Structure 1
Amino acid sequence: MDAGSVLQPLPALDRARQVTLALARYVADAKLQAGDRLPAERELMASLAVGRSTIREAIRHFQALGVIETRKGSGTYLLRPVSPDTIHMPLSLDTTRLRDVLLQTLEVRRGIECEAAMVAARMRTAEDLTVIEAKLDQMEKVHLEQGTSGPEDLAFHLAVYDATHNPLFRQILEQMRESFEHFWASPFDRKDFARRSFPFHRTLFNAIAAQDPDGARRETLKILEVVEEDIKEMSQ
């Protein structure tokens, strides 16, 4: 490891993304290779002047991209060399034309999420169901209390992705996160965006629990059909 490579404290804005970039830069500058151990969590917290939750969010991002792995009782290890130019190359669109961005991204969501739901129905474990249902329960709780559930909705879909046991689903989402997140950010300043899709999340869960791939696909399409209708109606 290059003795001149150091990690510097970060400013307050957008900490998780900055930690991701700082770690990628550190890996590149220190010329770390596959199999090398990354600094411990406490060392990263002290060097970058951020909290544990921020460090862990950045680590989860790296894990989703298949770049690192955490070995219990041993530490976090690099699976392949990275740099700031390669660790996060988001696939994004022109956000000044929100309607077009949403419709174009929806085409990709339809393909990915229908397939993910079907694979999850085939591959899910009892532990996966526990996680998905917990995310769904939280989504329903927030929805009923506040009338909207953006982050909780996203967390539910991510849990379905994880239940596929195919890391590429998560990796694709990470590459398109900027475009995908528009769906959970009250587009068109409408908190009721896609609210009518709310009941279909429970029926999607039921199909996955029943190991019914075709049913999971149908329920996913119902969710996305509502989303498409709202994009077209609310953007007029």
Structure 2
Amino acid sequence: MAALPIASAALATLPRTHRTADAVAALGAFIGEAALQPGDKLPSEHEMMAALGVGRSTVREAVRHLQALGVIETRKGLGSFLLTKVSGSTRHVPLHLETGQLRDALLQTLEVRRGLEAEASALAAERASAADVEHMRVALEEMERVHLQKGTAGREDLAFHLSIYDASGNPLFRQLLEQIREAFEHFFEKPFDRSDFAGRSFPFHRELFDAIAAGDAQTARAKTLAILDIVEEDIKDMSQ
């Protein structure tokens, strides 16, 4: 069994099922057991692959997951570093939704998303720094470019909204909303086999950005709700 020791802690080879989730769990437990402190460097990508017995894509997915939780950051050319002290027990528990009735489950998540996303947008309008606004602008322009080219921009849309959650100054928005999105990862790749899903919400994203950049919390909240209203309408229309 391959293992990478740091003090008394080690990463152990994982079984072949649920590898990404298991890799996240193993890394979270390892951080706690190794008593790593904020600023400490994590094992390299190759060391994680060898120790866990998984491929590069699994390691990268696990690292991205911990980045989204605000646990680690990756610095280009330097590696991954711990941002906040955690243990295996402080990692989030993934959402488990019954997707047999996809339409109903999606509508249930919208009820939760409305409160979270509207508040995140309002806080982003109140708190966003110049750097946050620039990050949002770049993400929005990439979303617009891809949308105009392909008619859809799922991943780019997510990146734009993640930039808003980050600008809110509260990492819980990103953690909670990414968990909701993860539960329907395959749906968002090809929603109801329609490439134009929620396409009517496209113009509202620019208006949402403008409101946040202007510090207008009330309008930012309203534009977010307008986007989610269109998502709800399309879920109902396309799933009949």
| TM, length-normalised to structure 2 | 0.80
Separation (CA, whole Å) in 2 of partners of 1:135 and 1:152 = 7
Identity of aligned residues (%): 53
Separation (CA, whole Å) in 2 of partners of 1:234 and 1:71 = 42
Q: How does 1:151-230 map to 2 (within 5 A)?
A: 151-179=155-183, 181=185, 184-230=188-234
Q: 1:6 to 1:60 in 2, by over 3 A?
A: closer
For the pair 1:8 / 2:13, whether they are aligned, the reply is yes
Quote the residue 2:3 is aligned against: none
Paired residue type of 2:121: A
Q: Is the 8 Å Cα contact of residues 102 and 183 (structure 1) preserved in structure 2? A: no
The alignment covers a number of residue pairs equal to 230
Give unmatched runs, 5+ long, in structure 1. none
| TM, length-normalised to structure 1 | 0.82
What displacement does 1:177 show? 3.3
Paired residue type of 1:81: S
Secondary structure at the counterpart of residue 10 of structure 2: coil
Separation (CA, whole Å) in 2 of partners of 1:4 and 1:170 = 29
Q: 1:50 to 1:212 in 2, by over 3 A?
A: same
**Bigger CA drift: 168-177 or 135-144?**
168-177
Q: Is the 8 Å Cα contact of residues 44 and 79 (structure 2) preserved in structure 1? A: no
Quote the residue 1:145 is aligned against: 149
Give unmatched runs, 5+ long, in structure 2. 1-5
Separation (CA, whole Å) in 2 of partners of 1:218 and 1:191 = 25
Separation (CA, whole Å) in 1 of partners of 2:107 and 2:174 = 21
Secondary structure at the counterpart of residue 90 of structure 1: coil
Separation (CA, whole Å) in 1 of partners of 2:232 and 2:80 = 44
Q: How does 1:127-142 map to 2 (within 5 A)?
A: 127-142=131-146
CA RMSD of aligned residues (A): 3.1
Secondary structure at the counterpart of residue 87 of structure 2: coil
